[in-house]
Amino acid sequence: MTDLANRKWYTGMLTQEDWWAVWLGVGFFFLSLFNIVGIDLVGWMTYPTKWVLNVPEGGKGAIGHAFYALGKKYSVTAKGFYKGLGWWSVIWTYVGFTIATCLGAFFMKWNMKRFFVGWTIIYFLTIATWFVGHHAFIAANKINMHKYGLNFALNLGGGGSFILALIVGLIIGNFFKPFAQFLSEAAKPEWYIKTAIVTLGVKLGYLPIKLAGMSQKLGKQAAGITFDLFVAGAAATIVAYMIFWPGVYIISRKIFKLPRATAAVLGSGISICGVSAAVATGGAVKAKPVVSIMVSALVVVWAVIELIILPGVFTHIWPGTKDPLVAGAAMGMSVKTDGADAAAGELLDEFMRNKVEVESNGAIKWPEGLITSSAVMTKVWIDMFIGIWAFVLALIWCYKIECKPGEKVPASEVWHRFPKFVIGYFFCWFFLLAIYFGPGQGGAPEAMPFLKTVKAGAVPVEKGMRKLFFMLTFISLGIITDFKKLREAQFGKMVWVYFVALFFFIIPVAMVIAYLFHHGMMPPNIAEFVVK
């Protein structure tokens, strides 16, 4: 019979995107660890820097340096070599990640030719957008714009590139539909974001190492705050579950009079974790696949609308820079796909750090990535709960609501629905923490030369690879988001349930819960250690 009949616990390890996010993230993470023995295999990863066409005298921003290999700054053993790469690092990065992603596409049995061509177009579109987004007019702020000879800048930091990438993707997805269709083989926001989330695990584990380079106390503070996020994220998620799902289910049933199965699928799609939950719940309650498909289409479109609105609202209206991690956690509970949530978290991170630096006139600087982590942490917990929730719902449906004589619910469903990329995320995080507390001696000065070699490998992965995959996510999200789907008649009521539930129930409740569990947690200030 089919492969499904012989399904084992390890089924899908070579054929599912979830697992390929793990192989890509963990694979490059392991390559990065070769730095410990003096071999730098990841320093070629490219990264953009702010640029201007006319560099002021004594200023910064030469276009020739707009992209550089991260090994130029961080490598311990091959700095000279990577310094010479400059813009060529873009091609090295293309070759490196093309091999890796094509390997994944091959094992996942995708159309290789279409994937390769689509990937190549998306990659170079991403690079072009990244480049434009780093023009100092877009990316600089009032603290550093004078170095580029500017009297005004948009203050968007790296967030400008993300917004541009989304706009480029949306233009393709909505105005060049045949082209978007052609690119769809390689426009995989979920794969890219799951890979980025695995590398975010590297970021979390690396944070104490990075801050230990500034002061040992800061390093320990960073390790502490990542654990706090871990615990607070779990607690907030459980509470949110208890409130969100029944709330949306009741709104769907009582106000909008939707059928039970549709209300259940919609309840999970809106309140829990978007498409994955909608599909999982659809399966659990044995809804016709079309219900899950319709809800999924809604989830994707609404998540992108949230991604456009919420980072700005959370930064400039409430909670602002007073409670940045509350904003991150609320984002994780409000935005309903991993891709849009992590992308919104990253935008929020850029906006918040930029805002606090400008507000304090440079006296406060937060390390990048913590606010993104707070957004992703709640989402990761939610993802892990999906399998359990789908199983519980299947039991309730099977034994209570629609009792079918003789039907059993296989417990293996929980594992098959477990988001495997989470394993890569936690693995990288805890592996680096073990290095930090083990041979790194908790950031003791005598261990710093060793930790510097770890840093040389970690930075290209947590910075270069992570940001690149975020950019790929933004552009791919745009490509697969067709706003016309909202206008299609058959959605009718569901669009309104989604709107009402999201803006008048989910987001306000998420903000309250995030406040209860994250209020008072602040990223450490690293301003005095950062070279201006």
Partner 1 sequence: MEFTIRHDGREWILENEEAVLSSPTMDGLDQKVREYIHEKGLLRAGEKLEVKMYFQNSTIPQWIRQYSQHYFNRILVVEG
- Using CB under 8 A as the criterion, which residues of the chain lie in contact with partner 1 when the complex forms? 1-2, 4-5, 7, 12, 16-18, 184, 188-191, 274-276, 279-280, 282-284, 286, 288-290, 292-293, 296, 337, 394, 404-410, 413, 416-417, 480
Q: Residue 467: which of 235, 219, 160 has the closest Cα?
A: 160
Residue with smaller CB distance to partner 1, 7 or 254:
7
State the minimum distance, in angstroms, from the CB of residue 402 to partner 1: 8
DSSP structure class, residue 50:
-
Residue with tokens 């809604």: 298
Residue number with CB closer to partner 1 (76 or 307): 307
Nearer to partner 1, 227 or 415 (CB): 415
Beta strands 46-48 and 67-69 are: antiparallel
What's the closest the beta carbon of residue 378 comes to partner 1, in angstroms? 18
Taking the C-alpha atoms of residue 373 and residue 377, their distance in angstroms, rounded to an integer, is: 6
Distance of closest approach, residue 6 Cβ to partner 1, in angstroms? 10
CA dist., res. 170 & res. 491, Å (int): 21
The 3-state DSSP class for residue 102 equals helix
CB atoms within 10 A of CB 55: 18
Specify the residue, 237 or 296, whose C-beta has the smaller distance to partner 1: 296
Q: Cα–Cα distances in Å, from 259 out to 266, 395, 422, 489?
A: 10, 19, 34, 18
Measured CA to CA, the distance from residue 134 to residue 132 in angstroms comes to: 5
For partner 1, which is the closer residue by CB, 170 or 480? 480
DSSP state of 51: B
Helix or strand run (H / E) with residue 371: helix 370-396
In whole angstroms, how close is the CB of 208 to partner 1 at the nearest point? 33
Q: Which is nearer to partner 1, 11 or 360 (CB)?
A: 11
Minimum CB distance to partner 1 smaller for 46 or for 276:
276
Instruction: Work out the angle at residue 346's Cα, subtended by the Cα atoms of residues 340 and 348, and round it to the nearest 5 degrees.
Output: 100
Give me the least distance between CB of 412 and partner 1, in Å please.
Answer: 8
136/425 Cα distance (integer angstroms): 33
Least separation in angstroms between CB 288 and partner 1 = 5
Least Å distance between CB 217 and partner 1? 42
- Phi, psi (degrees; rounded to nearest 5) at 409: -105, 115
196 vs 394, which CB is nearer to partner 1? 394
Measure the CA–CA gap between 365 and 76, rounded to whole angstroms.
26
| Residue among 75 and 337 whose Cβ is closer to partner 1 | 337
What is the smallest separation between the CB atom of 355 and partner 1, expressed in angstroms?
33
Q: How far is the CB of 79 from partner 1 (least distance, A)?
A: 39
| Cβ contact 244:509 at 8 Å | yes
Q: Measuring CA to CA, how many Å separate 28 from each of 43, 462, 497?
A: 11, 10, 43
